[in-house]
Amino acid sequence: MSEIRFSEEHEWIRVDGDIGTVGISDYAQQQLGDVVFVELPQVGTKIKARSEAAVVESVKAASEVYAPASGEVTEVNAALPDNPALVNEDAAGKGWFFKMRLSDKSELGKLMDAAAYAAYVEGLH
C-alpha cells in the first residue's frame, strides 16, 4: 500500500518501499495554468529535501519544483519534456516528474497527508 504526502510548496511524493515518485499537486497545476516546459533532474543526482530538483514553466510563469525528501534520482518521466501538458491533464498520475531512492524516510513525517494538504490549500484562499 503506497502513501501520498504533500509539501507546503505543492509537491507530492508517493512512497513505495524506498522509492518515492514526485510530482506537483493538482492545485499547483491549476495555479500555473498551461504547462509548456519541464526540466527534469539527471538520473543519479543526489538531492536534499527542499532543494530545487526540477523546473516547470507555464505560459505565464516559471516555477521551481523542490524535492519533498532527500535521496537519489532513479528515474525521470521521459514523456514529460515532449508533452508537458500531461502535468495539467493528470498532475497526480501521468504528469509525475521523477522517482527517487529515499535516504531518510523519517523526513516524510514532516510532510502533510492528503487531508492536511487539502485543508492547507483551503486556507490559502
Q: How far is the CB of 77 from another protein (least distance, A)?
A: 15
Cβ-based neighbours of 25, under 8 Å, separated by 6 or more = 6, 10, 11, 12, 91, 92, 117, 121
Residue from the set 3, 16, 60, 93 that interacts with another protein by CB under 8 A: 60
Residue 86 CB neighbour total at 10 angstroms: 20
- Give the nearer residue to another protein in terms of CB position, either 43 or 59: 59
Residues 95-114 interacting with another protein (rule: CB under 8 A): none
Buried b (16+ CB within 10 A) or exposed e, 57-68: bbeeeebebbbb
Binding span for another protein by CB under 8 A among 5-13, 68-76, 80-88, 107-115: 80-88
Residues 14-53 interacting with another protein (rule: CB under 8 A): 33-34, 36-37, 39
* CA-based torsion, 87, 44, 6, 124: positive or negative: negative
Residue from the set 2, 16, 51, 59 that interacts with another protein by CB under 8 A: 59
Residue from the set 62, 79, 116, 119 that interacts with another protein by CB under 8 A: 62
